[in-house]
C-alpha cells in the first residue's frame, strides 16, 4: 500500500516553505511513499516545485503531484514527468483533480459544470499518459484539446510510468477513474470498506498511544468554534464538490458514528478532510480493514511534527501486522 503525507496548506509566506520541507523530511524518515503536493489558486508554491524538492532532498520519496487542467497544458505536464523521472530515476504519482472554489474558477474563466470538468479531465489525463507512454507523434481531436503530431523528445525511463489517481466521489469521477485505470481517491468514510476497484482514502490523522492522549491533542489543535462551523456551512455555496456536500449532509444525520471518526476540523474549514483520532490499538484495525479490502493508497494529513509522524509509523506497522500478507 502506498502511503502519502500531505504537504501543509499554509497561507503564511514566512513559514509555508519550511513546513513543506519539514513534512517531506519527516515522510522520508518514517518510511512514507511520498508527499502529496497541492494545487489551487491559494497554493503559495506550484506543486511541481514541491514535487521536485521531494525528489531532490530525499533519497527515496516519490511525489504525488496534484494536476488540474486549468493550470497547465497536458504537454507541459508530460514534459515535467519525463524530465523528473529521467533526472531522478524515480516515479511520479499524479493526482488528477477538477475542483477549486467557484470564485477561483470564475477568476480563471473556467465556466464548465461539474460533470463536464470530469469529461475534460479524462481527455486531459489520457493525453498526458499517451505522451509519456509513446515515442510516436500524438494527434488528438477532442472536445477540449487538439494536438497535431505532438511528442516528447525525452522518453520516460522504462518501469517509471506515472501512476494516475483521480480525486472525487461523484459518478462522473468514478467514470473518469475507470476510463484511465486510475486509483480512485475519496474522503475517508465511517462505514467499513468494500472490496472493489483500486481505491485510495484521504483523511487527517491524530494518533497517540491511547485514545485519551490522541483526543487531548486533537481538542488542543482544533478547539470548538461555533463561528467557524457556521462559516464552513455557509461556504458550501461556493463549491459543487460532491464529497464536501456529502460530508456536511452526513454530519447532520442521526446515525451513530465510530468514536474515532471526527469531521469538525473539516466542517469549520480548518482542514480539507475528516480526521481519524485515537490510540494505536483503536485505529490499527480500521486501517487494516482498508488494506485487507484492497485499498491501494492512504493519503494522510499530519501535522509537521516528529511526534505525529512517529506515532503514524507505529500505527501503520501495527495495521500491517493485523492485515497480514497481501492476498
Q: Is residue 233 part of a domain?
A: yes
pLDDT averaged over every residue in the chain = 90
Over 80: is that where the pLDDT of 119 sits?
yes
pLDDT at residue 163, rounded to an integer = 96
**Nearest of 196, 146, 149, 151 to residue 174 by alpha carbon:** 196
How would you class 275 by CB atoms within 10 Å of its CB: exposed for 0-12, middle for 13-18, buried for 19 or more? buried
Q: Is residue 248 part of a domain?
A: yes
Return the H-helix or E-strand segment holding 230. helix 226-234
Q: Is residue 89 part of a domain?
A: no
Q: Is residue 241 part of a domain?
A: yes
* C-alpha pair distances (Å), 20 with each of 47, 70, 84, 316: 11, 23, 19, 22
The domain tally of the chain equals 1
First to last CA, the chain: 12
Domain holding 221, by residue range, is 202-281+307-327
Q: Against a cut of 0.75, is the pTM above it?
A: yes
Q: Is residue 14 part of a domain?
A: no
**CA separation for the pair 15, 171 (Å, rounded):** 38
pLDDT at residue 157, rounded to an integer = 85
Q: Is residue 75 part of a domain?
A: no
Q: Is residue 63 part of a domain?
A: no
Residue 249 — pLDDT band, cuts 50, 70, 90?
low
> Phi-psi region for residue 100, left (φ > 0), alpha (ψ -120 to 50) or beta?
beta
**pLDDT tens, position by position, 281-325:** 999 999 999 888 888 899 999 999 999 999 999 999 999 999 887
Q: Is residue 216 part of a domain?
A: yes
Residue 65 — pLDDT band, cuts 50, 70, 90?
very high
Amino acid at each position: 500500500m502506498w502511503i502519502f503525507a500531505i504537504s501543509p496548506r499554509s497561507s503564511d509566506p514566512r513559514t509555508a516553505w519550511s513546513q513543506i520541507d519539514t513534512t517531506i523530511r519527516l515522510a522520508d524518515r518514517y518510511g512514507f511513499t511520498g508527499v502529496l503536493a497541492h494545487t489551487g489558486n491559494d497554493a503559495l508554491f506550484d506543486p511541481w516545485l514541491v514535487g521536485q524538492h521531494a525528489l531532490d532532498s530525499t533519497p527515496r520519496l516519490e511525489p504525488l503531484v496534484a494536476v488540474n487542467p486549468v493550470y497547465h497544458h497536458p504537454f507541459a505536464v508530460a514534459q515535467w514527468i519525463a524530465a523528473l523521472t529521467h533526472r531522478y530515476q524515480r516515479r511520479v504519482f499524479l493526482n488528477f483533480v477538477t475542483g477549486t472554489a467557484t470564485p477561483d474558477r470564475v477568476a480563471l474563466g473556467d465556466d464548465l459544470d461539474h460533470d463536464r470538468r470530469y469529461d475534460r479531465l479524462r481527455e486531459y489525463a489520457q493525453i498526458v499518459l499517451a505522451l509519456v507512454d509513446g515515442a510516436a507523434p500524438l494527434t488528438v481531436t477532442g472536445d477540449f484539446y487538439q494536438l497535431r503530431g505532438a511528442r516528447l523528445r525525452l522518453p520516460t525511463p522504462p518501469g517509471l510510468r506515472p501512476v494516475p489517481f483521480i480525486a472525487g466521489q461523484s459518478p462522473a469521477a468514478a467514470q473518469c477513474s475507470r476510463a484511465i485505470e486510475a486509483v480512485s481517491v475519496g474522503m475517508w468514510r465511517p462505514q467499513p470498506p468494500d472490496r472493489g476497484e483500486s481505491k485510495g482514502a484521504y483523511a487527517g490523522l491524530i494518533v497517540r498511544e491511547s485514545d485519551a492522549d490522541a483526543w487531548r491533542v486533537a481538542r488542543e489543535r482544533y478547539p470548538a468554534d461555533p463561528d467557524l462551523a457556521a462559516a464552513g456551512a455557509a461556504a458550501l455555496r461556493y463549491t459543487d464538490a460532491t464529497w464536501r456536500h456529502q460530508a456536511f449532509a452526513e454530519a447532520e444525520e442521526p446515525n451513530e458514528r465510530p468514536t474515532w471518526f471526527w469531521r469538525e476540523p473539516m466542517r469549520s474549514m480548518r482542514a480539507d478532510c475528516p480526521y481519524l483520532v485515537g490510540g494505536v490499538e483503536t485505529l490499527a484495525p480500521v486501517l487494516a480493514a482498508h488494506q485487507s479490502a484492497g485499498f491501494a493508497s492512504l493519503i494522510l494529513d499530519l501535522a509537521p511534527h516528529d511526534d505525529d509522524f512517529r506515532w503514524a509509523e507505529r500505527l501503520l506497522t501495527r495495521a500491517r501486522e493485523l492485515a497480514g500478507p497481501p492476498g
